[in-house]
Amino acid sequence: MTEPGSTSPLPAAPLLRVEGVRKRFGGVIALRGVDLSVLPGEVHALLGENGAGKSTLIKILSGVQGHDGGLIEIDGKPASFSSPAQSREAGVAVVYQDLSLVESLSVADNLLLGREPRNRFGFLRKRQLLAQAQAFLHAQNIALDARAMVGSLPFAYRQMTEICKALMGDVRLLILDEPTSALTDDEERILFDAIRKAAARGVGVIYVTHRLNEVFRISNRVTVFRDGQNAGTFVTADTNMRQLVGAIVGPDHAVLKAPVTEAGDVAPSHQPRETVLRLAGVSNDRLDRADLELRAGEIHGLAGLIGSGRTEILQTIFGLRPVVTGEASLDGKSLVGVDPATAIARGIALVPEDRQVQGLVLEHSIERNLTLPRLPHFSRMGWLERRPAAEQADKAMQRLRVRAPNAATAVKNLSGGNQQKVVFGKWNQPVPRVLLLDEPTVGVDVGAREEIYGVIRAAAAAGSGVLMVSSDLPELVQLCDRVSIVVDGHIVKTIARVEIGSAEDLHHLIQLSQSFEEHAA
Amino acid sequence: MSDIQTAAQPAPPSQGRSLLQHLIKGERPYMLYVAFLIMLVVFSLASPWFLSIDNFLNIGRQTALVSIIAVGMTFVIIARQIDLSVASTLALSGMAASLAMSFVFNNWAFGALAGLATGALIGLINGLLTTRLEIPSFLVTLGSLSAARGLALMVTNTKPVIITNEYYFKIFGEGSVLGVPAPILWTLTVTVGGILLLHYSVYGRRIYAAGGNPTAALYSGVHIRQVTTLAFVITGTLAGLASLILSARSHAARPDVVQGMELDVIASVILGGCSLFGGRGFVLGTLLGSLIIGTLNNGLVLLGVSSSLQLVIKGAIIVAAVAFTRR
C-alpha cells in the first residue's frame, strides 16, 4: 500500500480553516474553542471519545447547528451555514452514521434524488437516470447494482450507496462519520479506494472514526479532540498508536497502562468444560448444514464475510429463524421450534448487530430497557415489583459503568458505547447459559470498548458459552479461545487460539476458505 | 455518536416511580393542565351555571362513554395501532346485551355478559387480523367499523330494543353511591384498572416496548402478537361496557347510536399525551383529554354557541392543543 500523501503533493492554502469554534447547549459546553485545518486533497482523521465534540463540529460544518463563536473559513472566505442546504451549496458533503437513504427506491434513484434528469415537460428520464448512476459507479469502481432496491441491500452496500451519493455533486469537503463500522476488510478497501480517488481530485476529507488502525491506513494527518478541546494534531506518518490513544483518553487513563489492541496479551485460556450448545447439520434458508460446538466458559468467534451467514447462525440459535433440518440442542435438550421467549427462558441471550433497531427501545429509560427481557423475574402474578426492578437496574448500571445521570434517563440520550453497555446489561443477571454477540463493539469508542471486552471475559469466566460474530479481526484474535469460519451458511473450519496467529493470518484464512468454497461449488 | 443529544437535552425527570409522577410525566402535559384550568376559569366567568357540582356531575356523565373507551384506546395507541371500530362495537354490543335480556334470560348479569363478550369478540377479531394476517389496524378496524355497524342495524332491522330490567338500569345507568352517579363510578373504576395494568403490570411494560420498538421487543422475548391482540380485546370489552351504560341510561339499545364517536376517543388519547408513533402515553392523561373535550362541549352549550360552530371550535382547539403538547 502506498503512502496516501505521496500520490498528490499538498498545497499550502487550507481548504477549510476552523479556529476557536465554540458551542454550548444550555449548561453543557460541547466545544471550548477548537481548531482544525483541512488541505485540498488531504484525508484528515478526526478522533476522540464519544462526547469529545467531533459530532458537534460536524453538525456545525454541515449546517445542522449554528456555532456560538469562532471562525470558519472555506477557501479563505468566512462561512457560516444556517441550513444543510447552504452547507451543501458551499461544497460540504456529509455521510452520517445513520443512513439517510430511501429504502423503497433503487440505488440510482437515491444517488440522484432531488437532481433527477427531466425532460422539458418535467417528466423523469428514467433511462438517463440509470445511465448516469451506472456511469458514476463505474468511474468510481464500485461494485453496486444501480437498479437494486436499497432496502434489499446488506448494510455495507447501503453505506457505500450513501458515500457515493455524497460524492456525486460538486464536493469540496467530504465528511465521513464512522464509515467503516460493520464493513469487512474487502469492502473497506473499496471504500478507501473511493476516498483516495476523491482526495486525488483535490477534495478535502474529514474522516471520523473510532478505529485507530484505519487512521494509519487512510489519513495524512490526525486531529484529536478531548472534552471539546484540541488534544493534538499529528502528521500520521510521524505518530503511533500509543501517542494517539494517549491523546484520546488523556494522560492518566487506565487504558494506557494496559497494552492496546494487540494479539498476544490475552485473558488466560479457560479450562475446556462441558458442551452447552451443539448444532449438527442445521439448515434453513440461510444456513447450510452448520455444525458447531460451544463449551461453557469459552469465547468462540464466528468469522467470515458480511452475508456469509454469521448473523443468521446466532438468529437461528435464538429462535428468530427456524431450524428446517438438522439438530440444535442446549445442554442436550433440543432447540428446534423454540421462539425467542423460550430461548431466553432457557438461558440464551442475544446482543444483536444493530443496537438502535434490534437492541433498544430508544425512547424508553435505561431501567425499562434493562428489565424488558427479564420481566418475569421482577413480578408476582403478572404485577410488576418496581423496587427490585429499579434496584437491579441501578446495580447493572454501576457494574457496567453506564455513564448517565440515573436509570430513568432515556437510552436515546446516551453515547454509542453506553447504549451498548445497556444492551449487555439486559442479559447480565442471571448469567446466561449462552451469550450470543453480534458485532459487539461497532461504533464504540476506545475506552468503552475495553470495558465491553471486560464484560465479555467476565461472562465467560462465570461459565457462559460466548458465541461472538465480529468483522474486527484483531478483536476476535484478542478475545477468542476458538474461531469458526463461516462461508455461505456453512462452518468450514474451527481453529483453536494457538493456531490462529495474528489478525493478518486470520484474514488470509477467511479469504482462503472463501475462495476454496467458491471453487468447490 | 450521540454526544450532541446528551449535551443538548437535559436528563428527563425521573420516570414511572409514583402515581403522582404519572400525572406530571409525559410530553409537557402540564401545558394540558394549564389549558384545562384556563378553560374552567373562562367558562366559570362566562356562565353562572357552569361552576356547580350538578354541572360537573353532568360533564362526568356525558364524558363517561368516551373516557371509558379511551382507556382501552390508550393501550392500542401505545402499541402503535389504532382502533376505528369502537363506536360500531358499542352499538353492536348494546344490541347483543338488550336482545339477550329480551329473548333469552332477563337478568342484568346475563345481559352485561352478552354485551361485554360481544365487544371482546370484535376486539379479538381486530387483533388477530392485525397481528396474524399483518393487515394494518387502520384498515382492519375501518372494515369492522362498517361491518359491526351493519350487523347492529341488521339484527332488528334497524329497530331499537327496549330494556325492562331495573337492576340493569341501576347498576349501569341511574344508580349512585354517595351522590356519585353510576357512569362516573364506572369511569373511575376503569381508569384505576387501566393505570394498574399499564403502569404496574408486566403486561404494561411489554406493551410500551412492543409499541416503542417492535423489533427490539421481539429480540427481548416479548410476544408482540399476543400483547397487541390483548390491547384490542381490552378496547372492545370497554366499548361493550360503554354500551351497557348508554343503554341503561336510555332504557333501550339503538343500533344507530354514537356514530363518529371514535374521533372523540382518539382525540382524547392524543390530547392526553399519547404518541401516535407508539411507546408513549399514560392513562390519567387520557382521562384528562376526554374531560377537556367533554368540558368544552358542555361549556359551549351553556354559552349558547350553535352546534355547528361548536364542531368548528372543538376541531380547532383539538388540533391546537395537540400541536402544543406534542413533542
**Is residue B256 a part of any domain in this protein?**
yes
Nearest chain A residue (CA) to B209:
A361
Q: How many domains is chain B built from?
A: 1
Which residues fall within 8 angstroms of residue B300, CB to CB, at 6 or more apart?
B309, B310, B313, B314
Average pLDDT over residues B317-326: 69
Cis amide bond preceding A430, omega within 30 = yes
Interface of A with B in 207-266 (CB under 8 A): 208
- For residue A177, the chain B residues in CB contact (below 8 A) are 1
Q: In the numeric block, which cell numbers belong to residue B171? A: 347498576
- B208/A51 CB distance under 8 A: no
* Interface touch A55/B4, C-beta < 8 Å: yes
**CB atoms B5 and A412 under 8 Å:** yes
- Euclidean distance between CA atoms B271 and B251, whole angstroms: 32
The pTM for the full model equals 0.73
Provide the greatest CA pair distance for chain A: 74
Average pLDDT over residues B160-169: 94
Q: What is the mean pLDDT of chain B?
A: 87
Contact: A384, B7; criterion CB under 8 Å: no
Find, among B266, B271, B291, B310, the residue nearest to B76 by Cα. B266
pLDDT tens figures, B253-278: 999 999 989 989 998 998 888 888 88
Within a domain: residue B13? no
- Give chain A positions within 8 Å (CB) of B209: 361, 364, 368, 372
Q: For residue B91, what pLDDT is reported?
A: 97
**Rounded mean pLDDT, B269-297:** 88
Q: What is the mean pLDDT, run by run of 10 residues, along chain A of 521 residues?
A: 44 84 81 92 88 86 87 87 84 77 85 80 83 85 82 76 80 83 69 83 87 84 90 90 79 50 41 84 91 93 86 94 93 92 92 91 92 87 88 89 88 87 86 93 83 90 93 88 90 83 77 67 53
Per-residue model confidence (pLDDT) at position B9: 37
- Separation in Å, CA of B103 to nearest CA in chain A: 39
At B37-50, the pLDDT tens digits run: 888 898 889 888 88
Name the residue with higher pLDDT: A73 or B15.
A73
A214, A43 in Cβ contact below 8 A? no
Contact B6 A360 (CB under 8 A): no
Judging contacts by C-beta atoms under 8 Å, the chain A residues touching residue B4 are: 25, 30, 55-56, 59, 65
Query: CB distance from A375 to chain B under 8 Å?
Result: yes
What band does B2 get if pLDDT is binned at 50, 70 and 90? very low
Give the whole-angstrom CA distance, residue B168 versus residue B105: 13
- In this complex, do B209 and A341 lie within 8 Å of one another by their Cβ atoms? no
Inter-chain touch B202–A379, beta carbons under 8 Å: yes
* Residues of B (203-242) whose Cβ lies below 8 Å from A: 203-206, 208-209, 212-213, 215-223
**What pLDDT does residue A262 have?**
37
Q: What is the span of the domain harbouring residue B48?
A: 31-325
Q: Tell me if B145 is assigned to some domain.
A: yes
Question: Is B147 an 8 Å CB contact of chain A?
Answer: no
Q: Is residue B16 part of a domain?
A: no
pLDDT above 90 as % of chain B: 63
Is residue B17 in some structural domain? no
pLDDT band, residue B324 (cuts 50/70/90): low
Taking the Cβ of residue A377 and every Cβ of chain B, the question of whether any pair is shorter than 8 Å is answered with no
Q: Which of B16, B196, B220 sits opposite A426 (nearest CB)?
A: B220
Indicate the pLDDT class of residue B22, thresholds 50, 70 and 90.
Answer: very low
Min Cα distance A361 → chain B (Å) is 5
User: For position A518, what pLDDT does the model report?
Assistant: 58
- CATH code: domain of residue B284: 1.10.3470
> In this structure, is residue B12 part of a structural domain?
no
CB pair distance less than 8 Å for B217 and A372: yes
pLDDT score, position A183: 66
A357 near B CB under 8 A: yes
pLDDT tens digit sequence for B184-213? 999 999 999 999 999 999 999 999 999 999
What are the chain A neighbours of B196 within 8 Å (beta carbons)? 383
Test A25 with B205 for CB contact under 8 angstroms: no
- Predicted pLDDT at B12: 39
Q: Do A51 and B279 touch (CB under 8 A)?
A: no
Q: In what order do the strands lie in the sheet with A333-334?
A: A290-295, A275-283, A325-330, A333-334
Identify all chain B residues contacting A360, using CB atoms and an 8 Å cutoff: 213, 216
Measured between CA atoms, how close is A392 to chain B, in angstroms? 15
Q: Which residue has the cell 485540498?
A: A40
Determine the pLDDT at residue A469.
95
Is A393 near chain B, with CB under 8 Å?
A: no
Are A408 and B218 a contacting pair at CB < 8 A? no
Question: A443 contacts in B (CB within 8 Å)?
Answer: 1
Identify the three-state secondary structure at position A292.
strand
In sequence order, which residues have a C-beta less than 8 Å from that of residue B80 and are 6 or more positions away? Answer: B210, B211, B214, B277, B278, B279
Residue B23 domain flag: no
Which pLDDT value is given to residue B10?
Answer: 37
Residue B9 belongs to some domain of the structure:
no
Alpha-carbon distances, residue A216 vs A35, A160, A236, A238 (angstroms): 21, 21, 6, 10
ipTM over 0.85: no
